[in-house]
Amino acid sequence: MTPTGRLTVRAFSDEFVPEGAAVRDARGVVRGKVVRVFGPVARPYLSVRPRRTPTPAEGLALLGASLVRE
């Protein structure tokens, strides 16, 4: 979680993830939308704008969790 409230996610591969793509958690809940792709081409980082600001407990639960593209 960044100071601006965005989530920084590491991609598992070089598969292209377009900006604007929705991301879901393992339960299928939409967590947000990709607003920026940056970093190394082999495994880029994604900046995700959450649908709403997670509570501290939700933020902790997201640490190390996998998010998938919709």
Q: 10 - beta bridge partners?
A: 45
Instruction: Please say whether the dihedral angle defined by the alpha carbons of residues 44, 16, 23 and 48, taken in this order, is positive or negative.
Output: positive
- Report phi then psi at 52, rounded to 5: -150, 160
User: Can you tell me the mean pLDDT for 21-43?
Assistant: 89
Measured distance CA(50)–CA(52) in Å, rounded: 5
Measured distance CA(62)–CA(25) in Å, rounded: 9
Q: In the chain, what is the straight-line distance between the N-terminal and C-terminal CA atoms, in Å? A: 21
pLDDT at 48: 92
At residue 2, does pLDDT exceed 80?
yes
User: Can you tell me the mean pLDDT for 21-28?
Assistant: 87
